[in-house]
Structure 1
Amino acid sequence: MNSFRLRLTIIMIAMVGLSVLAAGLLMGKTFKDNHVEALQDNMVREMNIILRQMDWRHGDPDSLFSYYTEQAQELKKITDARVTFISGDGIVLGDSDHDPRTMDNHSQRTEVQEAKKSGVGRTIRHSDTLDQNLLYVAKRVDLDNPDSDMIRLALSLKTVDQSIEHIWTVLIIGLIILFVVAALVSYRIASGLTRPLEKITEVAKRIKNMDYQARVTVKNKDEIGELGLAINAMADSLQVQMSRIHQNENHLESVLDNMIDGIVMIDRTGRIVLLNRFAEEVLGISARDLVGRHYAEAKQQYELAQIIQDGLERKEHLREEMTFYFPEERLLDLNLVPIFENDEEFNGVLLVLQDVSAIRRLERMRSEFVANVSHELKTPLAAVKGFAETLLGGAVNDPETTRSFLQIIFDESDRLNRLIGDILELSKIEARRIPLQFSPIELPSFIAKIVELMGAEAARKHIVLIMNVEEGLFVEADEDRLRQIVMNLLANGISYTSNGGRVTITVEPVRTGQSMDQEDADYDHIRIGISDTGIGIPKKDLPRIFERFYRVDKARSRGSGGTGLGLSIVKHLVELHKGSITVESQVGVGSTFIIELPVLQE
């Protein structure tokens, strides 16, 4: 922009200089022409006076030389100009400065030729003798006779030339001063024009570099001011549009990152252009490492690459379920959707990855649940039906057999009733249709009552119940449901512990802060641990121990009268209390169930 300002200043100075120079030349020429015209008119008047006062003689030129020469010399003193008398045929009859006998014929002189034509002739010639310009004016003595004698005056133009030189001197000095003034004024004008343009250019560059808050400071309402306002309006529009674009990009990015399905976009050449967070997690691939690269560079199983290749070639919707083993085992539902621009040009494919492992697992669990319920219901019903048929077949006549069979029918009916009750209970709990009534519970007395209730059952197997509960512990819970949780776990421990074993229930606070060893430290959770010295649970069965109808020792569980739903009910009730339950076990040593509950329910 500085070079532009310099160029503009030079152009303005040059224009001013040329204008002044042209004006000076025109003024000098006009001054000279006017001065020469005035001298000519004055010389013509002098010649008219001379012709009126002078006696013009004719005759032999030799006799007239001295007369006209004397007259010319006398007249020069009066007019201060060179005087020349010329005959009609061009012979010089007399001259105030030279001997006419030595002078050339003047018939071809310019002023003489013009005088013959128009009566008066004028020319300017340089005199080598005087080394200066002379103005020659000739006039016919008889204006009616073209061949008449002539009188000519020659006046030096030295004064005129000196005046012209003086004009040029003044003009040059004035031009120099004017150049300086014009340079300053032009620079100011150029600066006034270019400085706003510099600001506008700077703002335009900042806008180009995505600084959409840049604005032009508009001081004038001229064309440049209007340009600045247009730039500001453009920046406002760009800022709004880019803000919307960024907002939409953030929304899109947020949607993609928080989708529970994986999204992979692949262009027509096979390059990955988009990979959301869930797709990274499922495929074990970093978007930073793979976006912009070919899908074949992803270290994935061959089947995935093959379905992508088929989608790019066939350009139609493809769907398939596939098991992935890295980074973890998952069952994925793959949907490959072609992408068309304007419903015509194929731009690539969109791969949607949906993790259906949990859905398939739930379907399997539902199927297993139906099968287990059918099996569990069928067993007591078969027993009831079988023994009833036996009684109807004649066994009713034997009192001892009848009593035994009726007891079995009663036990199986009772078991069937418990099974149906547990199924309905679990269904309500899973559907969260059981309202919980939370209230403060004083744990030492609460646990003591449960131990007392379970004492008779433990005594039948000579099992010792041990209670370790700190005094003054409270928890906010539903009393009936908490009792159900503890009694189910105690019953489970008694059931799977051999005669003469031991079942221990421990309740302690989970203390927080730096004073964990102090009795008066705050606690926000309660930990309930129920340990037994029973048969234990194999390690492979621990992950499934809380599933419905899952039994570690199926024969013993059924013989003990269990429904297989107790631990599942316990887990759901603990979760309704916003707590957690875990199990630790060792085969042949025993098992420990650990429950953690918040002290206060929010």
Structure 2
Amino acid sequence: MNQFRAKLTFIMMVIIGLSMLTAGLFIAKVLEDSHVDLLRSNLMRELKVISVSGDWGKSTASTDESISHYTEQATELKNLAYTRITYIGSDGQVLGDSDQDPRLMDNHFDREEIAGARANGFGSSIRYSDTLKQNMLYVAMRLDQPGQQNGYLRLAMSLKDVEATVEKVWYFLIVGLAVLFVLAGAVSYRIARGLTRPIEKITRVAKQITNMNYKARVNMSRNDEVGQLGRAINAMADSLQLQMHRITENENRLKSVLENMTSGVMMIDKDERIVLLNPAAEDLLGFTAQELLGKKYDEAKQQYEFAKLIQECVDTGEHVRDEMMFYYPSERILDINLSPIAHEGDEWAGVLIVLHDITAVRRLERMRSEFVANVSHELKTPIAAVKGFTETLLAGALNDMDTAKQFLQIIFDESERLNRLIGDILELSKIESKRIPLQFSPVDMPVFVDNLISMMRPEANKKHIELLSQVPDDMYMEADEDRLRQIFINLLSNGINYTPEGGKVKVRIDPLYGEGGKYSTAGELGEPAEYERVRITIQDTGIGIPKKDLPRIFERFYRVDKARSRSSGGTGLGLSIVKHLVELHHGTIRVDSEPGFGTTFTIELPVIH
């Protein structure tokens, strides 16, 4: 029995020992393969991150400069990735290495990992390093992204930790067989369980990270190799999360730039489909992104000339620029820049279109040309009159005192008109260029209007025109008093000049109440406490302005009745000056008129600036 028991025990021990040995071999192999695969996956992901974050597009005429640049890059990145980094040119020459001098290293063109990367994009191998005297895991990636120099980026990591983990398993097996052989089964089970569960956790977290769940972490307090691996996984996840956060921030910045650009941006891919349209482009083209994205440009309801311009850029593959008049959604002039997009290898990838609205620029150019022409014409008339009458006087008219006096009076009047014209031009130029700072101060409106009426009454009395005013007592507003007086004088002078004898010109000022852009007089709202704006109305019973001329009366040199305007001494700039001064006071001006019944100018100004 004892012998049988011993034999049975021996057989059981042998079975258990063989089981432990087999289990140990299996566990060691699984741990090693899993560890290596995980390291390989980690290195691949780190390669992708490094290829994006590193400056691998350096290309110089000097090989030494390239080696110094890439070696410096590799050394800086090693401090972050804790792995050996090597940059290899497309011909296999080592251009940079974080641990060794590239000039002393062999050509790597035929290395297994380089050959695999050349064929598949990624390649890896495990071999003994003569330089470091230990087994190393090499993972390489082919660099063929736009803007980068062709070559290979390789990471190398020592397998010392993996080998150490396997040796530790064997150590536990031998100790278990020698010391507690009877409990070998339980010990083997516990060792296996103790080793596989953390690996399972790490693998599970690694898969979650692979699925872009960068918040996944390994909860492990162990200090052994598996614990170090878990912490390495967590560190890698932190790095990836940070990189993705930066990428997301960059995408948001780019999106914000595109959404807030005043220029329209439109992109067409290699299949001639619209893939990008920012809000400015939507406004300029009159279509929403939902209506255009995914459609071919020649099927997107764009005007024929625009589609033809895109086709020209597609056919020639060269930059195209042109100005074009668009009639939808409104009439405007667009400056169109079309640039072909090409990937590495000059492969055509699409067209980038930038649209600038230059309608205002062209309008200003036209206004400037018209202004120069009008100024030349307006200056020519009095100068011609002065010259003509002067020549007549020099020809002998001085001997006739009456004629000479009449001609000299005309010369004086024309020179006065010329002086007023030049003064108004200079004044308008200063106002438009905002070289006249306004000096705001409280203005007592009843006193202000009474003084103006008194000043303008002699001119009105010449035509028997009655000047009236209606201003509430104790009304004050903040304004530049000199500029406000200039506004009133211009409008009152126009009213007197264009009102027949016996007519009336009336000035009325009303306080306005309300908020949110909606204002009304006190009579419409009851009796509010304080007014926020002031409405100034200057009304005459003159000849009026035809309806077709109302939109243009604030233009420079525009006259409804040119002959009568010149005979009245007007320069054609008064209303333009009034409009600019009102806008400098942050106010608005409008005009209502009916031929034969008179004209009413209405100005609204804020009380406080």
TM-score, with structure 2 as normaliser: 0.66
Unaligned runs of 5+ in 2: 1-8, 19-182
Q: Which moved more, 1:499-508 or 1:382-391?
A: 499-508
Q: Answer whether contact 2:513 2:532 (CA < 8 A) is retained.
A: yes
Cα offset for 1:201? 4.9
CA separation in 1, counterparts of 2:370 and 2:14?
112
| Among 514, 526, 543, the residue aligned to 1:535 | 543
2:419 partner letter: N
Change (3 A) 1:553 1:216: farther
347, 350, 353: which one aligns with 1:348: 350
Q: Is the 8 A contact 1:534 1:588 kept in 2?
A: yes
Deviation by residue 1:320-345 (Cα, 9 ceiling, x = unmatched): 21110000000111121122234722
Q: For residue 372 of structure 1, what is the aligned residue in structure 2?
A: 374
Residue pair 2:17, 2:184 contacting (<8 A) in 1 also: no
Q: Distance in 1 between matches of 2:376 and 2:258?
A: 44
1:460 to 452, 459, 462: 462
Are residues 209 and 570 of structure 1, via their aligned partners in 2, closer, same or farther at CA, if it must alter by over 3 Å? farther
Alignment partner of 1:304 is 2:306:
yes
Does 372-381 or 330-339 show the bigger shift?
330-339
Of 571, 576, 585 in structure 2, the residue corresponding to residue 577 of structure 1 is 585
Q: Match for 1:388 among 383, 387, 390?
A: 390
> Secondary structure at 2:508's aligned position in 1?
strand
From 526, 535, 553, give the equivalent of 2:534: 526
The alignment partner of 1:523 has SS state of coil
Query: 2:608 matched to 1:600?
Result: yes
Name the amino acid aligned to 1:319: R
Structure 1 residue matching 2:532: 3-state secondary structure:
strand
Q: Distance in 1 between matches of 2:341 and 2:537?
A: 58
Partner amino acid, structure 2, of 1:490: L
Letter in 1 for 2:275: V
Alignment pair present for 1:320 and 2:328: no
Percent identity, aligned pairs only, is 63
Shift in CA distance, 444/24, structure 1 to aligned 2, threshold 3 Å = closer
8 Å contact kept, 1:384–1:413: yes
Q: Which residue does the alignment assign to 2:12?
A: 20
Displacement after TM superposition at 1:502 (Å) = 2.4
State the match for 1:175 in structure 2.
none
Residues 508 and 536, structure 2, Cα contact 8 Å, conserved in 1: yes
Q: Deviations over 1:194-228 (max 9, x none)?
A: 55455445544554554433322221123432332
Question: Which of residues 486, 490, 493 is equivalent to 2:492?
Answer: 490
- Letter of the 1:259 counterpart: M
Larger Rg: 1
Shift in alpha-carbon separation, 1:471–1:185, aligned structure 2, 3 A: farther
Which residue in 2 is equivalent to 1:220? 222
* Aligned position for 2:334: 332
**C-alpha deviation, 1:465, in angstroms:** 2.1
Which residue is 1:163 aligned to? none
Give the direction of change, closer, same or farther, for the CA distance of 1:561–1:286 in structure 2 (3 Å limit).
same
1:86-108 CA-to-partner distances (Å, cap 9, x unmatched) read xxxxxxxxxxxxxxxxxxxxxxx
Which residue of the partner structure matches residue 252 of structure 1? 254
Question: What does 1:174-323 align with in structure 2 at a 5 Å threshold?
Answer: 192-193=194-195, 195-197=197-199, 199-201=201-203, 203-204=205-206, 206-208=208-210, 210-323=212-325
Amino acid at match of 2:248: H
Equivalences for residues 2-41 of structure 1 within 5 A:
20=12, 23=15
In 1, Cα distance between the equivalents of 2:196 and 2:495?
A: 94
Query: CA offsets per residue over residues 491-525 of structure 1, 9 Å max, x none?
Result: 12222223333222221222126996354522222
Question: d(CA) in 2 for partners of 1:335 and 1:364?
Answer: 23
Distance in 1, matches of 2:375 and 2:343, equals: 54
CA RMSD of aligned residues (A): 2.9
CA–CA distance in 1 between the matches of 2:389 and 2:313?
64
Gaps of 5+ in 1: 1-16, 27-180
Please identify, of 414-423 and 497-506, the stretch whose mean Cα deviation from structure 2 is larger. Answer: 497-506
On the 8 A contact 1:265/1:274 being kept in 2, the answer is: yes
Preserved contact between residue 16 and residue 184 of structure 2 (Cα < 8 Å): no
Single out whichever of 534-543 and 284-293 deviates more from structure 2.
534-543
Alignment coverage as a number of residue pairs: 432
The match for 1:568 is 576
Going from structure 1 to structure 2, the CA distance change for 1:511 and 1:204 (only over 3 Å counts) comes to farther
Match of 2:29 in 1: none
TM-score between the two structures when normalised by the length of structure 1 = 0.67
Q: Conserved in 2, the CA contact under 8 Å of 1:463 and 1:501? A: yes
Note if 1:589 corresponds to 2:597: yes
Deviation at 1:268, TM superposition (A): 2.2
User: Counterparts of 1:347 and 1:255 in 2: how far apart (Å)?
Assistant: 23
Residue 266 of structure 1 deviates from its aligned partner by 1.2
For residues 506 and 204 of structure 2, what CA distance do their matches in structure 1 show? 82
Moved more, 305-314 or 260-269: 260-269
Q: What is the one-letter code of the residue matched to 1:417? A: N
Matched residue SS, 1:241 = helix
Compute the displacement of 1:293 (Å): 2.2
- For 1:462-501, what per-residue CA distance to the aligned partner results, in whole angstroms no more than 9, with x for missing partners? 3222212122221111111110011111112222223333
Q: Is the 8 A contact 1:212 1:235 kept in 2?
A: yes
Change (3 A) 1:234 1:455: same
Q: 2:556 aligns with which of 548, 552, 560?
A: 548
Distance of 2:217 and 2:547 partners within structure 1:
71
